[in-house]
Amino acid sequence: MASKTYDGTDISIDFDMKRCIHARNCFLKLPKVFDPSQRPWVQPDNAPAEEIAAMVRTCPSGALKFTMKAGAAEAPPQINRIAVLENGPLALAGDLEGDTRLTLCRCGLSKNKPYCDYSHVDEGFTATGEPATKSPAETEDHGGPITLTPVPDGPLKIAGKVELTTGTGRKIAKLDGAFLCRCGASKNKPYCDGSHKGAGFTDAS
């Protein structure tokens, strides 16, 4: 199963298995709706639609999405943020075309690049989630549309305004465009420093 829609009376829930990183927010926070031991495992009528929508917004990978039957889909956040997770991926919440939440590989080992597939855990990837602050915290708001482009065999290109934070929420930098490491070899994580060339990083690896 790659992607499936579960229709309820007031809300539809989309689940993309390939995007799931098993954060487990769904069945830990709302087990009456999300229960892997049941079939179907998603029961959209077992809780109020707004309660389900609030939980879905906590899914970091965007594997879960929702659409209200009244026509409202999930709105993007007012500020685009990328959180650098300790020993793990980049967690993005922002105004992306067709998306509002993503977890992006930064270990270089995912078999589903540019998305995280939890390979960092299996391979013992280590990288701090608390890089140093690079710019003052108080600058202009960082909202509006952004685009993500994986450079072939290279870094992740961010076009647009985004706030970079630690996994604990401390502001690292406010950027207007950036190149972020996705090979796992940069000496200046989370930024690209060109190490992908010497490391032989490829999208197929």
**Whether residues 63 and 85 fall in one domain:** no
Beta bridge partners of 156: 150, 180
Q: Is there a single domain that holds both residue 101 and residue 24? A: no
Q: What percent of the chain has pLDDT over 70?
A: 96
Q: Which of 44, 68, 92 marks a domain boundary?
A: 68
Residues 7 and 61 in one domain: yes
Q: What is the pLDDT of residues 3-56, one digit of tens each?
A: 899 999 999 999 999 899 888 889 999 999 999 999 999 999 999 999 999 999
What angle (nearest 5°) sits at the alpha carbon of residue 111, between those of residues 18 and 30? 30
Residue 76 lies in a domain: no
Domain boundary, last residue among 14, 33, 68: 68
Q: Are residues 57 and 86 in the same domain?
A: no
Per-residue confidence (pLDDT) for residue 1, from 0 to 100: 54
Domain coverage including residue 51: 3-68
* Same-domain pairing of 7 and 96: no
At 136 the pLDDT is 52
Looking at the fold, whether 43 and 94 belong to one and the same domain comes out as no
Asked which of 68, 92, 110 is the last residue of a domain, the reply is 68
Q: Please tell me the distance from the alpha carbon of residue 155 to that of residue 193, in angstroms, as a whole number.
A: 9
Q: Are residues 61 and 147 in the same domain?
A: no
For 120-165, how does the pLDDT look when each residue is reduced to its tens digit (9 = 90+)?
Answer: 999 999 998 888 887 654 556 677 999 999 999 999 999 999 999 9
The residue assigned the tokens 């997770």 is 85
Residue 179, domain member (yes or no)? yes
Contact 168, 85 (CB under 8 A): no
